[in-house]
Amino acid sequence: MQEINFNTSWPFKLDETCFYAYWDNAFSKEECLSIIDIGKKRGLIKGKTSGEETNGIRDSEISWLYPNDDMAWVFKHCTDIITNLNKRYFDFDLYGLNEGFQFTNYKAPGGKYGKHIDRGFKTLIRKLSLSIQLSDPSEYEGGELYLYDNDEPVLMDKKQGTLILFPSYVLHEVTPVTKGERNSLVSWVTGPPFK
């Protein structure tokens, strides 16, 4: 008697979306220092999570930066890198950097951003998140950026000028800074709904 296989699955395409991608030396030390200067001069405010509270998840100060804040060169450079990495590792349909950049300052003791994702209900459709390491890692301790692949944390490179890009639905965190301060530049690339 012939064995009957009841597996009727026939995938059209396998998922080739990567967990994250990175670009070494996206910005030089001098460019990173320039961005830090712009971010701090813009005026720092307490970073929040959704709504008006931090819920103990977040301890940082931020400023919002846009092309007219002497940042057009950063937007242009990031656009080129994002387009390149997206084509190679994600292949998402994208609109652009529609929320500006968030300059984030984490100070010891305890500056952090607990586990979270960057997508939210009734918000802009964030498809990719990016984080640029602005600080020299020798100037602070702690403040590691971890992305979670299922339950496993994956430590991201702390080298100054590195750009990390990942789907906005990936769980991630910045651990508490225990010495010095960590500065980063983050943003979200929007696009049409996933389908």
65-74 pLDDT per residue, tens: 999 989 999 9
Who contacts 173 (Cβ-Cβ below 8 Å, separation ≥6)? 112, 113, 114, 115, 116, 145, 146, 148
> What confidence tier does 121 reach under pLDDT thresholds 50, 70, 90?
confident
- The structure's pTM equals 0.91
Q: Where are the domains of the chain?
A: 21-50+57-190
pLDDT at 54 over 60: no
| Per-residue pLDDT reduced to its tens digit, 80-108 | 999 999 999 999 999 999 999 999 999 99
Collapsing DSSP to helix, strand or coil, 51 comes out as: coil
Q: Does domain 21-50+57-190 have CATH number 1.10.10.1110?
A: no
Q: What type of residue sits at position 49?
A: T
Average pLDDT, the chain: 93
The pLDDT, as a whole number, for residue 11 is 80
Whole-angstrom distance, CA of residue 145 vs CA of residue 44? 21
Average pLDDT score over residue span 171-190: 98
> What confidence tier does 50 reach under pLDDT thresholds 50, 70, 90?
low
Element (H or E) spanning 61, and its range?
Answer: strand 61-65
The pLDDT, as a whole number, for residue 16 is 83
The pLDDT, as a whole number, for residue 150 is 87
Who contacts 20 (Cβ-Cβ below 8 Å, separation ≥6)? 147, 154, 156, 164, 165, 166, 170
